[in-house]
Amino acid sequence: MKVYFDNAATTPLHPDVIKDISQQMAINFGNPSSSHQFGRHAKNLVESARKSIAKNLKCAPNEIIFTAGGSEADNLILRNAVENLGVKRIISSTVEHHAVLHMIDALKADYDTEVCNVNLTENGAVDLTYLESLLKDTTQKTLVSLMYINNEIANLLPLKTVADLCKTYDAYFHSDTVQAIAHYDINLEDIPVDFIAASAHKFHGPKGVGFAFMRKKYGIKPLLIGGEQEHGARAGTENTHSIAGMALAFDLAIKDLEKDQAYVSHLKKYFVEKLKEIIPDVQFNGLSADLKKSSYVTLSVRFSKEIPMLLFKLDLKGIAASGGSACQSGSSKGSHVLQAILSSAEAQKSSVRFSFSKFNTLAEVDYTILILKTLLN
């Protein structure tokens, strides 16, 4: 049996999305910037996708900027905040995605931007009291950048609470929502977040395409220059068929959201129960075993010791998952997230991130549990 439990890394394309992209590549090959009918048809496809995504998020279409993915969207947002909006201070955390952390480092180096990190609880959750103290303690223009769902330990940020807090203290709020878009209902009319980032391949859409949301009251300067595409926000011919595929994937996810949430949550709960049965001393990183405080998609499991080449052994049995420590990931640095929330001894133990989708089955969970039982004995 082959089991794909690495959906937090990327998801398989939805069959309907594959079909739609193939059709659009064949019939809608025009350049959206061309004035002839081929270009107009392509432009219409792009703008229809923009309207569809905006409708799902309850925002204006001109607040959606298509990018090559979540990392570009995060980079575009953060650099614009400093270069265009005059942000002098960024509040973030040590467990953000590297697309955020590395850009913040670059902004600090280039513009001497002040950087403050929030305190985290022992489970990696943001200390909201400390966040408020940081917001109170400045007269500088400030941006808060905190991810909605942590990509490694699945912790859920109380998005509206943080957005309201930022609004109270007149700070901008950016959230990397790559792990949340199309998995949770995000109402941008109700949640006063200023900027979010998304990537299609996290919700059964194509790779190499995503979007940034920016409130229209804030101007934007492009990272990529050389053309006036995306209303001047991003140069380069639009990835027409992938944009259409992303919009369709989003629509399909929203259509079945409650059903898919219930189904995948059941898979995760069942997996947790079975793990506890076969490994009584198993631990879970962050809040990932708490279905109310973590994403229903992801589970970060920590075993009681280091198990050499565990991911490789799982792969040999047909099971795809991700590592969470240096010895599992093949990186000499290991997981910066686990290092931030665990003691050095605990961080060296074998951690595996299993992440699920609506295309997974209980039979796959049973098979994985059986293999783990064999490998751990």
**Pick from 208, 238, 255: which residue ends a domain?**
255
Q: What is the pTM of this model?
A: 0.95
**Residues in a beta bridge with 236:** none
Contact 275, 369 (CB under 8 A): yes
CATH number of the domain encompassing residue 112: 3.40.640.10
Catalytic site residue 327?
yes
Range of 22's domain? 15-255
Instruction: Provide the CATH number for the domain around residue 289.
Output: 3.90.1150.10
358 and 279 in a common domain: yes
Same domain, 21 and 106: yes
The number of folded domains in the chain is: 2
216 & 264 share domain:
no
pLDDT of residue 329: 47
Tokens 């960024």 -> residue: 90
SS3 category, 323: strand
β-sheet bridge partners, residue 65: 212
Final residue of a structural domain among 221, 238, 255:
255
- Backbone dihedral region of 286: left (phi > 0), alpha (psi from -120 to 50 degrees) or beta? left
Q: What is the per-residue pLDDT for 173?
A: 98
- Strands 322-323 and 351-355, by their bridges, are antiparallel
Of the residues 59, 116, 166, 327, only one is catalytic, namely 327
Distance CA 347, CA 333 (A): 11
pLDDT at residue number 176: 98
229 and 278 both lie in a single domain: no
Give the rounded distance of the alpha carbon of 301 from its chain centre.
Answer: 19
Q: Are residues 152 and 285 in the same domain?
A: no
As beta bridge partners, residue 64 has 213
What is the pLDDT, as a whole number, of residue 331? 52
Q: Looking at the structure, do residues 60 and 164 belong to the same domain, yes or no?
A: yes
Residues 36 and 141 in one domain: yes
Q: Are 49 and 177 in a shared domain?
A: yes
* Same structural domain, 222 and 309: no
Q: Which helix (H) or strand (E) holds 311?
A: helix 310-316
pLDDT on residue 223: 87
pLDDT at res. 98: 96
275: nearest Cα among 248, 304, 311, 308: 304
Considering the domain architecture, whether residues 228 and 357 belong to the same structural domain is answered as: no
What pLDDT shows up at residue 326? 36
- The sign of the CA dihedral 125, 131, 134, 140 is positive
CB-side neighbour CA atoms (13 Å) of 270: 17
Q: How far is CA 117 from the centre of its chain?
A: 20
Q: Of all residues in the chain, what percent are helix, strand and coil, respectively (each to 5)?
A: 45, 15, 40
Q: What distances in angstroms separate CA 131 from CA 116, 169, 222, one per listed residue?
A: 10, 11, 30
| Nearest 10 degrees: Cα torsion 301, 302, 303, 304 | -150
Q: Is residue 268 located within the same domain as residue 370? A: yes
Amino acid code (one letter) for 328:
Q
Question: Which of 226, 255, 284 is the endpoint of a domain?
Answer: 255
pLDDT of the chain, 377 residues: tens digit per residue = 999 999 999 999 999 999 999 999 999 999 999 999 999 999 999 999 999 999 999 999 999 999 999 999 999 999 999 999 999 999 999 999 999 999 999 999 999 999 999 999 999 999 999 999 999 988 899 999 999 999 999 999 999 999 999 999 999 999 999 999 999 999 999 999 999 999 999 999 999 999 999 998 787 888 888 988 998 899 999 999 999 999 999 999 999 999 999 999 999 999 999 999 999 999 999 999 999 999 999 999 999 888 899 999 999 999 999 985 433 445 557 899 999 999 999 988 999 999 999 999 999 999 999 999 999 88
* 207 and 261 part of one domain: no
Sheet holding 64-67, edge to edge: 64-67, 210-214, 195-199, 172-176, 142-145, 89-92, 114-117
Distance of alpha carbon 222 from alpha carbon 87, whole angstroms: 17
The single residue listed with the structure tokens 């298509």 is: 66
